[in-house]
Each structure stands twice: as structure tokens, then as C-alpha cells.
Amino acid sequence: MSNEEYKAFQVVHEGFTTREAIDEAKRCLHCKVPQCKKGCPIGNDIPDFVHELSMGNIGSAMSIINNKSNLPAICGRVCPHEKQCQGHCVMNKKGNPIQIGKLEQFIADFDTKMNLTRDKLPQKNRGKIAVIGSGPAGLTVAGDMARQGFSVTIFEGQEEPGGVLMFGIPEYRLPKKVVRAEIAKIEALGVNIICNTLVGENGITVDSLFQQGFDAIFMGTGTAIPQNMNNTPGATLRGVTQSTDFLHNVNAYNEGVIGREMVPLRTGEKVGVIGGGNVAMDAARTAIRLGADVTVLYRRTQEEMPAIQSEYEEAVNEGVKFKWETSVSEFIAGPNGRLGKCKLVTPEGECEENFDRIYLAIGSRPANRIVSTTEGIEVDEKGYVKVVDYPFGMTTRRGLFAGGDVVHRPQTVVLAMKAAKEVAASMMQYVDAIKLLQAAKIVEADAAEESED
């Protein structure tokens, strides 16, 4: 990586120093009815950990956060705070909310750097749990259940755990060393992570996991299959690429795993990104860091764009251009047979515009690898797994639970965590119940034997 590219991918927002963090924490008004907590999807005890930080009790602050979150260093960086905790802060009315995300990030980073003393953990004798996938949902279930005395094993198809956290979010937003540090903390809870293992292939199935003695299984496989535009003429031309593939390649390049020539982008190329979500913003801002001329093409208005507002504003500041209410009706080949231009449908009418590359960021859907190798898992018309309300999160296959994007459509990291926490609580109740029933059957069998004697 060149020195210029290295600088381009450095973290955009640096964290607080210790003095800055404590001074910011002191600004908290300690509201009797804290709106910030209401705005947090996982109900983080924000006033409590901010108060501990304001007194310099960083270890206590970390313990409070750990009661609700297993990924604070990540949430502190990538959560849409403006819509959640900070957006609900009463001081936001004057445009100066407490910087809750940066405080959470500081506490978690300090904990990692200083390797603070961990709480004593219970013995892992409450039940045996398998987790499929190590993205935000899988890591949350694993952490929550390990803290409550369950033996947890994560099965991950990639060569390294983390899912979208490791392979989808750009380095400048979420450094990979931060992801690895958070995962190391979850492993320290006693969680076993097995990589390069795709459930649904090579004879490893949900059924085989149950045969190995797992009491319950959590399916947190996310939405691994990106949507395409194959019904649009020219969509299969070279130069029309998925944003997720592009981001994965750039992350691998930043890690030194592949060379620059393997990244599907050349300096100076004109790039279009189709979509208006956070993946589109990531792809656009990443492409511009590699020297491209980037335009986002979004079929709706700016007000309807689902991306985080701050991500959009930073993209504009970095030089990304936007065309609103614009869709592509045809991809047109150039003289070399590659993509050369796009036919655009705009409010002003149809026009053609030159593009060297197009990155698609129009959503994704679940893979069917697990569903197709397991009897009894029902999905909806788009392939999302159906779950029941009681036990919450259990699929139509008994003992198999699911949560996160594979159930609730693609969302943010913290919303996947929220769903996973609810499912984890339900799984604990389920395993406790089946253990109790098993114990009752043993007692009945013993009593029957005694009566026969």
C-alpha cells in the first residue's frame, strides 16, 4: 500500500484522551428519566457508566457496559448515535449532546489497552450451545450465554471471525485490530471459535451438530447473498461489481493479504455506486480513497436515503457526488467490451453517462445453505427464516434459533445485537426447561424401577 493510500484509510474520527473523556462525562446532567437509555436499542445503562467515568472509575464503567453489550468498542464507532442515544440526549435540543459513542469507545479501548481484571465467570455446566456465524448477532449470543454458564462453540465459514465487522466495514470506520480485540474478549469468556467451517457443507449440518450433543443452536448467518440487477440489460458486463465484493477486497488489501492489482478499481476511474444505504456510503468513500471519481446514484430523494446522515455528510465533504431520483435502465458496453456508460432515468428524463465501473449496493438476502440441508426450517418468500414468539426466536425446527439479519432484514450492528440478546435470553430458558424435563424423566424412571422391585 502506498503512503498516500495508507493515510487515506486511517481512522477518520480519533478517540478521546483520558482528560477529554472525563471532562465530557462530567457534562452529563444525570436526568431522572434518561432519554439516552431509551434511545439505545439494547438499553445500555448510559447514565451509570458515564457517571463512573466522570469519577475516573473506568473499570466500573466497563462492568456496567458489559452487562448489556459484548461489543462496546465496535458500537462506540459504528452505531448511528445521532438517531439513537445521542439523538435522544436532552442536551441535543441545544445541538450539544453528550458524545456517548466516543465515551463508550474510550472505555472499551482503555479496557483493552490496560487489560483490566475480568469478573469471575461461572462454570460452563448449564448447557452446550452451537452458534453458526460470528457476526454481531452470533458474537452477542455467544458472549451473553458464556457469561451465564453455557459452553459455547462458534462455527465460522471464513478464515477469521467477525463477519461483516471484519470483512464489510472499511478500516477508516472500524479498524480491524479493534474487531480482533473485541473477539479476543469474547474468547476469554470461554467461547470456542472454529473457523473455515461452513455449516451446510461437507457433512456438517444442523442435525449433525445436535448429534454432537448441543442442546440448542443459534443461526446468525446474516444476509450473505447480495441482490443483483440481472433484469437490467448489460448487468453482467465486466465492470459491474457488487459493493460487498469490492469492500472485501479492499479490506484484504489493507491487511496485506492481496496486492493492489486484485482490487477492482484503478486510480482515476469514474465510478458509480447504485444504492443509498450505509454499504453504498462505505463503497463510495472507499473508492474515493483509492483515487476514483465517485457518484452515488439513488432512486429516491435525499430525505428518503437510509444511510446515516453523518456518513452522507462526510461522503460529500470527501468529494462524493450524488444524483437523486436516478436509476439505471441499461448498462452499455464500451469499445473493449467492458462497461462504458449507463443509461440513466432522471427527473429530467433519460440520458447516457460514461462510467468505468459500477458498484451495486441494493441490498442482500440470506443464503439457503443451512435451510436446504435441514428438514423443517420454514422461510418466507424472500428466504428469510421464520421464527416464533415463544420460545422467542426459535425456528420451525425444534432447538434451532435464529436472529439478526437472517430474520429481520439487513439492519445496523446494534439492531442485530438487540435481536440476538432477546433470542439468547429465550435460548437460556429453553435449555433450562429441557434439562429440567430430562431430570424429571430420570426421577420418574428411577421411581418406576423401585416400584417394580
pLDDT in tens, 67-119: 999 999 999 999 989 889 999 999 999 999 999 999 999 999 999 999 886 77
The backbone torsions φ and ψ at residue 240, rounded to the nearest 5 degrees and listed phi first, read -100, 110
% of the chain surpassing 90 pLDDT: 78
Residues whose CB falls within 8 Å of the CB of residue 337, separated by 6 or more in sequence, listed in order:
237, 238
How many Cβ atoms from other residues are within 10 Å of residue 58's Cβ? Answer: 21
Residues whose CB falls within 8 Å of the CB of residue 421, separated by 6 or more in sequence, listed in order:
42, 68, 140, 141, 144
What's the pLDDT tens digit per position in 442-452? 766 666 666 66
Alpha carbons 335 and 416: distance in angstroms, whole number? 45
Alpha carbons 178 and 155: distance in angstroms, whole number? 21
Assign domain 127-224+366-440 one CATH number from 3.40.50.10140, 1.10.8.100, 3.50.50.60, 3.20.20.210. Answer: 3.50.50.60
Alpha carbons 275 and 246: distance in angstroms, whole number? 14
What's the pLDDT tens digit per position in 353-400? 999 999 999 988 888 889 889 989 999 988 899 999 889 999 999 999
Give residue 99's pLDDT: 96
pLDDT-derived band at 120 (thresholds 50, 70, 90) equals confident
Give whole-number Cα distances, 217 to 62, 65, 429, 435, in Å: 29, 26, 13, 15
Nearest to 76 by CA among 7, 173, 144: 173
- Region 161-181 average pLDDT: 93
Alpha carbons 339 and 328: distance in angstroms, whole number? 13
- Region 41-49 average pLDDT: 95
Asked if the model's pLDDT at residue 53 lies above 60, the reply is: yes
Give residue 1's pLDDT: 67
Query: CATH code for 3-114?
Result: 1.10.1060.10
**Secondary structure class of 210 (helix, strand, coil):** helix
pLDDT-derived band at 183 (thresholds 50, 70, 90) equals very high
DSSP state, residue 118: P
* Bridge partner list, 337: none
In the predicted model, what is the mean pLDDT of the chain? 92
Q: What angle do CA 371, 205, 364 make, to 5 degrees?
A: 40
Alpha carbons 245 and 287: distance in angstroms, whole number? 13
The burial class, CB within 10 Å (0-12 / 13-18 / 19+), for 374 is: buried
Give whole-number Cα distances, 167 to 49, 50, 113, 279, 372, in Å: 30, 31, 23, 12, 25
pLDDT-derived band at 203 (thresholds 50, 70, 90) equals confident
| Whether the domain at 3-114 and the domain at 127-224+366-440 fall into the same CATH topology | no
Domain ranges of the chain: 3-114, 127-224+366-440, 263-363
Please, what is the angle between helix 278-289 and helix 309-317, to 10°? 20
The reply to whether CATH 3.50.50.60 applies to domain 263-363 is: yes
Say if strands 327-333 and 339-346 run parallel, antiparallel, or are unpaired: antiparallel
Give residue 202's pLDDT: 84
Alpha carbons 196 and 202: distance in angstroms, whole number? 11
pLDDT-derived band at 201 (thresholds 50, 70, 90) equals confident
